[in-house]
Structure 1
Amino acid sequence: MTVTEINDDGSFKRSQMSKQFVRLSEDMGQSGALQQAPMDRTIEALKGFYEEYSQLPNLTLKAVATAAVRNASNQKVFLDRVRSEVHGLNIEVISGTEEAHYDYLGVINTLPVTNCVIMDTGGASCELVLVQNGREQNLVSLPFGSVNLSETFLKHGLDQLAAVDLFRLSTAVQRLFNGLWWLQRGQNLPLVALGGSNRTLAKIRRKQKNVADFEDIHGFRMSVSEVDNVYAEIIEHNLAERKAIPGLSKDRADIIAAGITPIVTIMRFLDSGRVIFSENGVREGILYEHLDQLRAKGKIGNKKDNISNTKKSAGSRKKADKK
């Protein structure tokens, strides 16, 4: 959940942010149904958010759900539970292309990029956007993320990773990329990465470089060799050792290998020499859309604040999903 104060002149600043790692897509499996425990965790997180946002004046609230709820066979059951248990909260389920579009808005408004490929790897989906001359040309949402890739491919367990599992995982991801005809046009362009797993790469590397504010990764760059080296360090360790890697959250240690396999794979696919990390994605994209709507209605001026680092964000809005 991020809260943003919007002034009459169009300037804005983030005043609050809260985050809970709920893994809403956990154990969906072949049934495609959200499971009881993840739903309970998510609703508890939303109740905590309510205690914060319900105290705010002049509130415009927007809550969205992404891949886990979008793909769930029991989507209505979950949304009804949220409405019933979280004080009438209505969650909008956005499509994969809408999610990718909001990623584009969040990136293009806060990073100096003109031509790039944007990749957002979440728990249950991966969004890709080809940006040329500052405009989104093609976009897609692929049905894989850190949680479902781990559950599908890491058959020999999440402790000591098996080479055969990693091979089958990377091969499956590569085939999906091969099926995107337009992705070839992103050859040699920089990759802009967001999503919890991808951002963990940057945090690990910044810890290695002894950067004081290692979590402030917006605009941070890594070469392909740096990405490969961090990936190699992750997959060679068992689970207990991964939990001890500086910069890697213990909550992500079991799914991080599958979570960053797509970015390692796409950098080779694109022959991209560098990756730029973004803290701004869906929530910030929704904010910029909201600001444009307010300007069009004459409710605010045209001044724009800079949220190029993550100190500022979305309009009082929550992303209720897997992150």
Structure 2
Amino acid sequence: MTQVVSNGAKGRLTMDNLVIVDLGSNSVRMAINEIRPDKTFREVGRYKEDTRLSEGMGPEKKLQDAAIKRTLAALKHFRILYQDLPNLTVKAITTAAVRQASNQADFLERVQREVGLTFDVLSGDDEAYYDYLGVMNRLRVEDALMLDIGGASLEMVNIRSGKESNLISIPFGAVNLSEQFHLDDQINPADFFDATVFLRQRLQDIWWLGEAKTKPFILLGGANRSLARMSRRQQQVLHVEQIHGYQLTTHEVFRLFSGLLRKNHEQRKQISGLEPDRADIIVGGILPLVLLLQMLDSDRVIFSESGVREGIINAYLNQDYN
């Protein structure tokens, strides 16, 4: 992991700056955090660029040139924003797309050469665990199923009595499901059926999921956040982006998903609260949630703005992440 420290010596009374660069399968995100002397922190900047790194990886799991160029451009832009901060530490993490990539080593070497960042490739279990740490730091729950649907993977954590009981990462998400089953535009019933059968078979193989039956879901990830924003727009709620702790009934999730299925790509791009560049992957991104809600007979979902980045900050402050 690259750590970048300014020339000035760190003083006890000087704020440290911790930057988390999170390279995901659909977007690259950055959070700039001020670390206080008492080891509390304050987020002072949050940035996101949609780069869709996992686009077109296909069965050979190869990162494509166009996606790599988009990602490098975003990382270079982010570097401009943080490189002159004093007392700086940068922690760069990447998840499913790079974790699965057959050309991972070439990609990471190019990022190091052109941007100066050395990425820590999180395992699926690590990603799920840091999600859990981030959620539990801000949402006090005793029993729930945490679900993070990303671009190329899905993480689940069974929370029992406030503790992580079981966790898993599965290598499918919004981008690769949408590509594999052609869920990007008008939905063909046969394609939708094939996607449903594929997902249900793989989810049924997870032995401990039965222990999460009837538990509420805690939702993370871009597709889930879009679902919350769509709901808040329809209800004309102020501060649409403030979704942390927001809840929906399972019935409302199903209603929103049904509306997505009835629209083609162009029509979905017009939905208030849904980012237009997510319109082609939103059905693939929400489908796992819908199936799990049915399988586990859960009655509601709770949205979390905290996730892997906040989990890493928490671990860093407790000296559990180097």
TM-score (norm 2): 0.89
Distance in 2 (alpha carbons) for counterparts of 1:96 and 1:167: 27
- SS in structure 1 opposite 2:50? coil
Q: Alignment identity in percent? A: 47
Note the C-alpha offset of 1:172: 1.2
Distance in 1 (alpha carbons) for counterparts of 2:214 and 2:255: 20
Provide the residue aligned with 2:40 in structure 1. 11
- SS in structure 1 opposite 2:93? strand
Provide the residue aligned with 2:242 in structure 1. 216
Note the C-alpha offset of 1:10: 2.3
Distance in 2 (alpha carbons) for counterparts of 1:265 and 1:259: 11
The letter for the 1-side match of 2:317 is L
Note the C-alpha offset of 1:159: 2.2
CA contact (8 A) 2:108 2:118 kept: yes
Note the C-alpha offset of 1:189: 0.5
- SS in structure 1 opposite 2:168? strand
Note the C-alpha offset of 1:176: 1.2
Provide the residue aligned with 1:134 in structure 2. 162
Distance in 1 (alpha carbons) for counterparts of 2:40 and 2:58: 45
Provide the residue aligned with 1:315 in structure 2. none
- SS in structure 2 opposite 1:60? strand
Provide the residue aligned with 2:150 in structure 1. 122
Q: Is 1:226 aligned with 2:255?
A: no
Aligned length in residues: 293
Q: Is 1:148 aligned with 2:181?
A: no
Match of 2:105 among 71, 76, 84: 76
The letter for the 2-side match of 1:200 is S
Q: Is 1:293 aligned with 2:319?
A: yes
Match of 2:302 among 276, 279, 288: 276
Q: Is 1:250 aligned with 2:276?
A: yes
Runs of 4+ in 1 over 3 A off after TM superposition: none
CA contact (8 A) 2:72 2:111 kept: yes
Deviates more, 1:118-127 or 1:161-170: 161-170
Note the C-alpha offset of 1:165: 1.1
Match of 1:43 among 49, 59, 72: 72
* Per-residue CA distance 1:123-150 (angstroms, 9 max, x = gap): 0000010010111111110010000001
- SS in structure 2 opposite 1:29? coil
Higher relative CO (Cα under 8 Å, sequence separation at least 6) belongs to 1
Distance in 2 (alpha carbons) for counterparts of 1:52 and 1:33: 30
TM-score (norm 1): 0.89
The letter for the 2-side match of 1:282 is V
The letter for the 1-side match of 2:129 is H
Match of 1:97 among 125, 144, 153: 125
Provide the residue aligned with 2:13 in structure 1. none
Distance in 1 (alpha carbons) for counterparts of 2:112 and 2:41: 29
Provide the residue aligned with 1:263 in structure 2. 289
Provide the residue aligned with 2:220 in structure 1. 194
Which protein is richer in strand relative to its size? 2
Note the C-alpha offset of 1:206: 0.4
Question: Superposed, which structure 2 residues align to 1:61-72 within 5 Å?
Answer: 61-72=90-101
Q: Is 1:112 aligned with 2:140?
A: yes
Note the C-alpha offset of 1:11: 2.3
CA contact (8 A) 2:184 2:279 kept: no
Note the C-alpha offset of 1:185: 0.0
Aligned CA-pair RMSD: 1.4
Question: Superposed, which structure 2 residues align to 1:163-178 within 5 Å?
Answer: 163-178=189-204
Distance in 1 (alpha carbons) for counterparts of 2:231 and 2:193: 24
Note the C-alpha offset of 1:174: 1.2
- SS in structure 1 opposite 2:167? strand
Note the C-alpha offset of 1:158: 2.6
Distance in 1 (alpha carbons) for counterparts of 2:298 and 2:317: 33
The letter for the 2-side match of 1:289 is A
* Per-residue CA distance 1:104-141 (angstroms, 9 max, x = gap): 00111111211110000000000010010111111110
